[in-house]
């Protein structure tokens, strides 16, 4: 199945899926509805350790990452349906999405849908909902769109059905869905360590960045395998990441941000290295007082550049739009 829209109906026991090309039906005004914003994240610092050699999570990589949310967001509208109804899901690109791609995955693979089904499993009951998910966050770009959607869905369904699930259990459920989902349950920045289960919220941080979202992705599994080929027995540098987060003050300009996966991502997708060099050349032509680093978030492929103000971000966005054919470029606010 392919296309830029997808709908499905069903429950944890049955699910019918079809491509969707019409308008999504709006919920009845008499049905309880929750609208949640699912904001993207960026990794301001990402340190990665060698994979675990034993235990139930063997093969997984411990990390230490300073993560923050930005104002690029998907939007979920979740409506509670009558108890005898089947759940319905509609996933589509918002009209102002910076970069779209085919929505061609199985509905049961979508993280927001999986979050809903997980809550049905947790409670042992049907929790019928209608989901309309308007996506803006590019797929496979290292911005955590799927994780943000899953966290928003967990919170929306808990609210709609008044489920007595404590926050601590919500974190455990989130970890079953992905290593970034627990972080996305709250809005503030944090240092995330271990396999994503240790979350230390850090002081609020604000700033402006410009995102460059290329038309190619960097498969996460392939990037980690490339990392393993050169990393040896690397350890996640938790204290270094914590020190950066604690000493940042209110802003990120001037900090030595880093990402241990950037080089591995360039090995998997050599065009990423070419893109970073192209961005650096375009920045050099702007006549800034000094060179600006071109960072990578997550396992790629999205790059970002730190800016000193909203005006600086707007100027940088305009310059990069002119210079980078085929890439989506967008200024974004951290905080």
> What amino acid positions are annotated as catalytic residues?
41, 180
The distance from CA 266 to its chain's CA centroid, rounded to whole angstroms, is 20
Token reading at 232: 């040896």
> Could you tell me which residues come within 8 angstroms of residue 228 by beta carbon, excluding any fewer than 6 positions away?
50, 51
Q: Do 85 and 10 form a contact (C-beta atoms < 8 A)?
A: no
Q: How far is CA 15 from CA 11, 20, 93, 106, 167, in A?
A: 6, 15, 22, 11, 29
User: In terms of C-beta density within 10 A (0-12 exposed, 13-18 middle, 19 or more buried), how is residue 49 classed?
Assistant: buried
d(CA 49, CA 123) in angstroms, rounded, equals 36
């Amino acid at each position: 199945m392919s296309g830029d829209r997808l709908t499905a109906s069903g429950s944890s026991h049955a699910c019918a899926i079809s491509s969707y090309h019409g308008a999504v039906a709006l919920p009845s005004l008499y049905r309880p509805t929750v609208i949640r914003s699912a904001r993207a994240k960026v990794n301001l610092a990402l340190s990665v350790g060698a994979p675990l050699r034993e235990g139930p999570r063997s093969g997984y990589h411990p990390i230490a990452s300073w993560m923050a949310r930005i104002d690029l967001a998907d939007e979920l509208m979740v409506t509670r349906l009558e108890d005898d109804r089947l759940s319905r899901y509609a996933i589509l690109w918002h009209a102002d999405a910076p970069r779209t791609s085919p929505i061609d995955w199985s509905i049961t693979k979508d993280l927001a849908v999986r979050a809903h089904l997980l809550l049905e499993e947790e409670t042992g009951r049907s929790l019928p909902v209608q989901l309309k998910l308007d996506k803006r966050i590019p797929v496979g770009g290292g911005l955590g769109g799927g994780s943000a959607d899953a966290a928003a869905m967990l919170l929306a369904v808990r609210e709609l059905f008044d489920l007595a699930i404590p926050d601590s259990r919500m974190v455990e459920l989130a970890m079953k869905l992905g290593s970034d989902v627990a972080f996305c349950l709250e809005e503030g920045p944090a240092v995330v360590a271990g396999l994503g289960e240790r979350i230390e919220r850090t002081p609020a941080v604000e700033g402006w960045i410009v995102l460059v979202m290329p038309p190619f992705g960097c498969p996460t599994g392939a990037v980690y395998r490339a990392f393993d080929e050169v990393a040896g027995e690397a350890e996640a540098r938790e204290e270094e990441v914590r020190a950066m987060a604690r000493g940042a003050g209110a802003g990120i300009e001037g900090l030595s941000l880093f990402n241990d996966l950037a080089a591995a991502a360039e090995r998997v997708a050599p065009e990423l290295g070419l893109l970073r060099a192209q961005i650096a050349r375009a920045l050099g032509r702007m006549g800034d007082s000094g060179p600006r680093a071109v960072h990578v978030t997550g396992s790629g492929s999205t790059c970002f550049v730190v800016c000193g103000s909203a005006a600086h971000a707007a100027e940088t966005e305009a310059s990069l739009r002119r210079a980078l054919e085929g890439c989506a470029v967008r200024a974004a606010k951290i905080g």
